[in-house]
Amino acid sequence: MQNDVVPPSTPAPLQAQFVTITEEEAGQRIDNYLLRVCKGVPKSHVYRILRSGEVRVNKGRIDQLYRLVQGDVVRIPPVRIAEKADTSHVPAAEFKVIYEDAQLLVIDKPAGVAVHGGSGVSFGVIEQLRASRPDAKFLELVHRLDRDTSGLLLLAKKRSALTNLHEQMRDGHTDKRYLTMVAGDWKNARQHVKLPLHKYTTADGERRVAVQADGMPSHTVFSLLKKFNGFALLEAELKTGRTHQIRVHLASSGFAIVGDDKYGDFALNRVLLKADSTRGALKRMFLHAHQITFTHPETGKIMTLNAPLAAECERFLVSLGKPVN
């Protein structure tokens, strides 16, 4: 009996991608952006597609020195990305769902989990969710949270929802609020911090932010919720959405977030790892995205979603006892 010969399957043709630049991604050069998102593609090939005009921004040609602006639509031509070929190593995971419908997925992200792979992290929330939802035709991050920040994270299940929410964020029509604990004697019931922020990369490739005169305009409003001996619980309201904005605005104002391993008080952080007679232990950064308000991209309804304070932060808060204010 003759065996049937099964012809090798023909790989599906690659298609160009169209990516809308978020506020987080704005400001970087197009070549650096492509080198980051096209992991596994040789650098020489990235510069070749730039020179050839295959990469377009808002349907027009650009050179490698072009700096991306929030809302830019970047056409990335078909490229084979080696690292993305095998996703079998990504463990499927679901996270606590705060809200979900045909347009949106809103989860409560735990601290210590990156939102996406890169910068030494092989996978993050978005890759794990895609692995757990193989039938999902579209799933993209609307915004980002730092790896060590917990709380509300929005994802779009349709491209139209993604574009709509990006426009809302760019135009200042969303309201994002965080709970944070700082060390020190915080005085004001409500305080505006307007310090320009500049992003840079350290020699070992770590992304950092510093207050700098020629940086991006940045504005955070802090409200005092509770005051303790040596600590204060604040609500941070983002008027702009720069990388590490809350962390750097507080540290530059003399009030480091407890547990912040980039901009915080490192000696205090070490002390807080163990409980003492006055408080419990804290082994993470006390920063939690607890509330977001936006307009639903399909219904037009104003939505306000909340995520309860993460358990480890709640335990530390309770351990401080009664507020002094």
Contact 78, 13 (CB under 8 A): yes
DSSP 28-92: SBHHHHHHHHSTTS-HHHHHHHHHTT-SEETTEE--TTPBP-TT-EEEE-----GGGS--TTSPP
**Rounded distance, CA 150 to CA 110, Å?**
5
Q: What is the mean pLDDT of the chain?
A: 89
Q: Tell me the pLDDT tens digit for each residue of 249-262.
A: 999 999 999 999 99
- The predicted structure's pLDDT at residue 81: 54
**What is the arithmetic mean of pLDDT over 207-231?**
95
**What is the arithmetic mean of pLDDT over 3-20?**
62
**Rounded distance, CA 26 to CA 149, Å?**
21
- The predicted structure's pLDDT at residue 137: 83
Contact 41, 79 (CB under 8 A): yes
**Rounded distance, CA 254 to CA 238, Å?**
19
**What is the reported pTM?**
0.74
**Domains in the chain: ranges and CATH:** 17-77 (3.10.290.10), 96-170 (3.30.2350.10), 175-319 (3.30.2350.10)
What phi and psi, each to the nearest 5 degrees, are found at residue 131? -65, -35
Q: Tell me the pLDDT tens digit for each residue of 259-310.
A: 999 999 999 999 999 999 999 999 999 999 999 999 999 999 999 999 999 9
Point out the residues that are catalytic: 146
Q: Tell me the pLDDT tens digit for each residue of 19-42.
A: 998 876 777 889 888 987 887 788
